[in-house]
Amino acid sequence: MMDYDSSPGSQQLAQQFNFAQHILALNAGRADKLAYIDDRESITYGELDRRVRSFAAGLLARGIQPEQRVLLVMQDTVDLPVALLGAMFAGVIPVPVNTLLPATDYAYMIDHSRARAVIASACLLPCVREALQAARGKPELIVAGEHDEAELPSVRAMLDSAPLSPDAYADTCGDDFAFWLYSSGSTGRPKGAVHSHANLFWTAELYGKPVLGVREDDVVFSAAKLFFAYGLGNALTFPLSVGATVVLMAERPTPQAVFKRLTGQRATVFAGVPTLYVAMLASPDLPPREQTALRVCASAGEALPREVGEAFRNHFGCDILDGLGSTEMLHIFVSNRAGDVHYGSSGLPVPGYDIELRDEDNHQVAAGEIGDLYVRGPSAALLYWSNREKSRGTFQGEWLKSGDKYSRDEQGYLTYAGRSDDMLKVSGQYVSPIEVEAALTAHPAVLECAVVGKIDGDGLTKTAAYVVLGQGRQPEDSLADELKAFVKGRLAPHKYPRELVFVPDLPKTATGKIQRYRLRNAAA
């Protein structure tokens, strides 16, 4: 076992450290406890141990060597954590990717990562095969899950390999490359953020245990998938670090699908995104509190509106701990916490992380002013693979430039003001789209909304709001005027939306983030 100092901000970790071996060793005494429950099977920690070591042996037997990459195009089933941990156990670099991408994106990632193998869920094989035809590289294709293609090598066959012995794991260091995550940037090609073995450890020690408070007797369910940084922490790093049980779901996280797991599996810890919480509360199938066992929930990806957090707490009797994280920092580094929830705010820096808000001249801003958020802490990615320019722009010495705009009040609580490229300057003054959206969603007619900038005939920026109405409300000019007046009554006059467009839904990414750039393009 390794030695470490768990005091906030400490970065002392044993030089030799393999995260997968660390997880298996932590749970060696829980062989009979349920580790994972997916849509088709449940496995214990003892079976997880066997499968991880067998998968590692299978990779090495296929000639895949430590530090080479394998692309994981896999749905959230038990096979995915096995593949992630098994690759790291062997020193191979797993690269889990979004399962909703087009073939052209997979082809790019195959070539960019120089993947030696692509492991794909059976239902995703048509798209992956198309990507392999377009890619320059020709990695081996391995299928996961139920399938009828006997000619393809399979994860199932790899799990029949003789498992590696407990001491046969790759002799990696804490700072060695462990896995990649591709960012879902709004422009340009995805960037491959390279993370180390130690980064996973620190997110559990600094956030998962002390802030989210995951413990051994929890049943954890994350609507965010494992291929996202947020989902990876929620459904693998945190629960496995304390011996909890994890519920996995392959299908899309609709409110109905989420309710099925919350009531059927009695999840005690749930992780979602703001748009999902909005949809859950608006659903006619919303279960009563007594049918659930929720103890604590997490939210990230976008700012959680105050009204949504309060409505959820009133219904389920538990708080949503809204926070800020990123692919580059691996998980949440600013958060609300139990007993100190400030809805409408992202909370305080997680102990172990430092935050600075800076102006355009790189000077720290005063309390109440909006600045670019910089963060430093032990879970930062090492670089973007094969992208020196972007690496230099983001990883600036000890500090990482997050790309988020925030303000901080006198008590230190941080409030989201949008992405750096989402901020609007109206009448010579900065306007936070998030602030305007929060004001609009406080109106009972509004289900959700997004605010972007629109250039008027004089070349000046004005705010335009795209609004999805709640059930039973109709788009009418009188309602548009009412909503504009409602915002005027809550914010400074220059901040109200000059144009208000009623839409049936908002464009979103697979994580549930609103794609404001698409709305900006529509408004142009």
The domain that holds 86 is classified in CATH as 3.40.50.12780
Q: Which of 171, 203, 221 is the last residue of a domain?
A: 171
Tally Cβ neighbours within 10 Å of residue 6.
Answer: 11
61 touches 90 (CB < 8 A) = no
pLDDT at 11: 46
Report if residue 306 sits inside a domain: no
pLDDT at 9: 41
* Of 449, 502, 451, nearest in space to 475 by CA: 502
Amino acid at site 473:
R
Report if residue 108 sits inside a domain: yes
Tokens of 125: 């094989």
CA angle centred on 198, ends 194 and 204, rounded to 5°? 110
SS3 248: coil
Chain centroid offset of residue 215 CA: 20
pLDDT at 184: 63
What is the Cα–Cα distance from 292 to 252, expressed in whole angstroms?
A: 20
Report if residue 419 sits inside a domain: no
453 touches 522 (CB < 8 A) = no
Tally Cβ neighbours within 10 Å of residue 470.
Answer: 13
Provide the greatest CA pair distance for the chain. 71
pLDDT at 493: 79
Tell me the DSSP string of 271-301: EE-HHHHHHHHH-TTPPPGGG----EEEE-S
pLDDT at 428: 65
Q: What is the pTM of this model?
A: 0.87
Report if residue 67 sits inside a domain: yes
What is the Cα–Cα distance from 498 to 394, expressed in whole angstroms?
A: 34
136 touches 115 (CB < 8 A) = no
Q: What is the CATH number of the domain that holds 455?
A: 3.30.300.30
What is the Cα–Cα distance from 38 to 29, expressed in whole angstroms?
A: 23
Report if residue 435 sits inside a domain: yes
What is the Cα–Cα distance from 187 to 69, expressed in whole angstroms?
A: 25
What is the Cα–Cα distance from 136 to 312, expressed in whole angstroms?
A: 49
Q: Which of 111, 146, 171 is the last residue of a domain?
A: 171
Report if residue 80 sits inside a domain: yes
Report if residue 214 sits inside a domain: no
Q: Which domain holds residue 62?
A: 28-171
| Domains in the chain, number | 2
Report if residue 109 sits inside a domain: yes
- Reading across the β-sheet that carries 177-182, which strands appear in turn? 177-182, 192-196, 383-384
Q: Which of 123, 151, 171 is the last residue of a domain?
A: 171
Residue pLDDT tens, the chain, 524 long:
333 443 444 446 778 999 999 999 999 999 999 999 999 999 999 999 999 999 999 999 999 999 999 999 999 999 999 999 999 999 999 999 999 888 989 999 999 999 999 999 999 999 999 999 999 999 999 999 988 777 899 999 999 989 999 899 999 999 999 999 998 644 467 899 999 999 999 999 999 999 999 999 999 999 999 999 999 999 999 999 999 999 999 999 999 999 999 999 999 999 999 889 999 999 999 999 999 999 999 999 888 989 999 999 999 999 999 999 999 999 999 999 999 999 999 999 999 999 999 998 999 999 999 999 999 999 999 999 999 999 999 999 999 999 999 999 999 999 998 877 777 877 767 788 888 999 999 999 999 999 998 888 777 788 999 999 998 999 999 999 999 999 999 887 778 999 999 999 999 887 788 888 889 888 77
Kind plus residue range of the DSSP H or E element containing 374: strand 370-376
What is the Cα–Cα distance from 399 to 407, expressed in whole angstroms?
A: 18
What is the Cα–Cα distance from 74 to 147, expressed in whole angstroms?
A: 14
pLDDT at 187: 45
